[in-house]
Amino acid sequence: MVDMTRRPEDLRSHQWYGTDGLRSFSHRARTRQLGYLPEEHLGKPVIAILNTWSDINPCHVHLRDRAQAVKRGVWQAGGFPLEFPVSTLSETFQKPTPMLYRNMLAMETEELLRSYPVDGAVLMGGCDKSTPALLMGAASVDLPTVFVPAGPMLPGHWRNEVLGSGTDMWKYWDDKRAGLIGDCEMHELESGLARSPGHCMTMGTASTLTAAAEALGVTVPGASSIPAVDSGHDRMAAKAGMTIVDLVHRDRKLSAVLTAEAFEDAVTTVLGLGGSTNAVIHLIAMAGRAGVRLTLDDFDRIARTVPVLANVRPGGRTYLMEDFHFAGGLPGFLSRIPDLLHLDRPTVSHDTMREQIAGAQVHNDDVIRPRDNPVAREGGVAVLRGNLCPDGAVIKHISAEPHLLKH
Ligand code: FES
């Protein structure tokens, strides 16, 4: 077996820690000040854990604990973990919209990774814009990188109803306005709509983009659908910590994973999941940072070849992300469309995507439909052009009533 371990002097952090100069002396002295022994960190890959945890962000509120699992994995694999708090983008609370701050988090990610003694990065996020922001910034620095998705919250419940966060909110607000329910019911709904830490558990922007990250190959296998409060999420985080140390030793940079083929597969995935139209904006921006040309026309072209197989609300009719997870998660979904994917490209965990999804199965054909019984025959979005939108617009036609499709 070939020993892939990199020599200490080949690590990027060696420039901070390992030279004979005054600066290295100072950096070592300051690391003693942090309380670390020389043998705990010198010559080891320094892993930055960029954590978007905040008290104000219910989608990421568990990530403070989860970072400990990432550190556990890094230590066990022989790395030196350091946690960096970064901006949190809370879709619920941040006004006027976190979209104004996506690029700020991308810049923060880029500048932190570039300016500190970092050999590899673990990015922790999931609420809507945080996934593209973190990956955009990391792509510009191009270090070995692993993404840890925040994971979906548990399904909402109210009386005998299963609720989808971010979708049933609108429905019940309309019921209140119509006088169908009152303050008592709304008070109960406040406690049932979002029952645990984690991002929205519909196939909204958050679940779509974390699935896209897994399809790109930047998460450990099966990571994106693990419920945020499941102990499997802790294990996934520890595995991500181990994986990043291995990636640094292999010197597999993010650019080796974020290829044109990977972005095509991410688009295929988003369309086959009936995912959010917001993914169009973010994937094009992420591809741009990775030096890959991705356009609206690529979405239109691929949409014509991909059936929607995920029966997850709101594109699907019935299920939520926990159902999708136990039906096989993204590996199960991808195992239904291998002919539509580029399986020979590397991921953070495997030399090929083929290995990554080997053995994956679907355990519920109503949640992840077979090809001969799709939710929709073509991918969930269509690109439109006309005098109102000469440069193109996107419609999620599977969520629209048929009478709205001709205008
Ligand atoms: Fe964070 Fe929906 S509010 S993902």
pLDDT tens digit sequence for 241-266: 999 999 999 999 999 999 999 999 99
Distance 350 CA to ligand 1 centre (A): 30
Mean pLDDT along residues 233-243:
98
Note whether residue 17 is domain-resident: no
Asked whether residue 285 falls in the same domain as residue 385, the answer is yes
Residue 2 lies in a domain: no
Whether residue 208 sits in one domain with residue 304: yes
Cβ–ligand 1 contact at 52 (below 6 Å): no
Residue 208 sits in the same domain as residue 321: yes
Tell me whether residue 31 is in a domain: no
CB-based burial, 31-64: b 16+ in 10 Å, e otherwise: beeeeeeeeebbbbbbbbbbbbbbeebbbbbbbe
Say yes or no: CB of residue 209 within 6 Å of ligand 1. no
Query: Ligand 1 centre from 199 Cα, in Å?
Result: 5
Q: Whose CA is nearest to atom 1 of ligand 1?
A: 127
- Which one of 170, 195, 220 terminates a domain? 195
Q: Given ligand 1 and candidates 200, 210, 313, 321, which is best to mutate, with the most ligand atoms within 8 Å of its CB?
A: 200
Q: What is the extent of the structural domain holding 190? A: 155-195
Q: Which of 195, 216, 244 is the last residue of a domain?
A: 195
- Residue 16 counted as domain residue: no
| Predicted local confidence at residue 3, as pLDDT | 67
| CATH code assigned at 297 | 3.40.50.2300
Quote the pTM value.
0.96
**Per-residue confidence band for 5, with pLDDT thresholds at 50, 70 and 90:** confident
Query: Average pLDDT for residues 296-300, to the nearest whole number?
Result: 94
Give the residue whose CA is nearest to atom 2 of ligand 1: 200
Which pLDDT belongs to residue 167?
A: 83
Picking from 165, 195, 225, the residue at the C-terminal end of a domain is 195
Are residues 172 and 243 part of one domain? no
Is residue 163 included in any domain, yes or no?
A: yes
Average pLDDT, the chain: 95
Residue 114 near residue 141, CB atoms below 8 Å: yes
* pLDDT of 378 higher than 90: no
200 lines ligand 1 (CB under 6 A): yes
Best of 59, 105, 202, 207 to mutate for ligand 1, by most ligand atoms within 8 A of CB?
59
279 and 299: one domain?
A: yes
Q: Is the CB of 91 under 6 A from ligand 1?
A: yes
Note the pLDDT of residue 395. Answer: 87
Q: Are 335 and 361 in contact (CB under 8 A)?
A: yes
Instruction: Clarify whether residues 253 and 184 are in a common domain.
Output: no
Q: At residue 111, does pLDDT exceed 70?
A: yes
Same domain, 226 and 357: yes
Q: What is the pLDDT of residue 2?
A: 56
Mutate to test the pocket of ligand 1, among 95, 97, 128 (most ligand atoms within 8 A of CB): 128
Query: Distance, CA 89 to ligand 1 centroid (Å)?
Result: 9
Give the pLDDT band (50/70/90) at residue 237: very high
Q: In the chain, what percentage of residues exceed pLDDT 70?
A: 99
pLDDT tens per residue, range 169-182: 889 999 999 999 99
Residues 134, 186 share a domain = no
Residue 230, ligand 1, Cβ within 6 A = no
Residue 370 lies in a domain: yes
Do 181 and 163 fall within a single domain?
yes
Tens-place pLDDT, residues 340-355: 999 999 999 999 999 9
Is residue 340 located within the same domain as residue 264?
A: yes
* 329 CA from centroid of ligand 1 (Å): 19
Are 58 and 165 found together in one domain?
Answer: no
Counted domains in the chain? 2
Average pLDDT, stretch 207-212? 98
Q: What does each C-alpha distance from 306 to 273, 358, 377, 383, 400 come to in angstroms?
A: 9, 21, 7, 14, 18
The closest-lying atom of ligand 1 relative to the alpha carbon of residue 92 is 3
How much is the average pLDDT of 186-198? 95
Give yes or no: residues 312 and 282 share one domain: yes
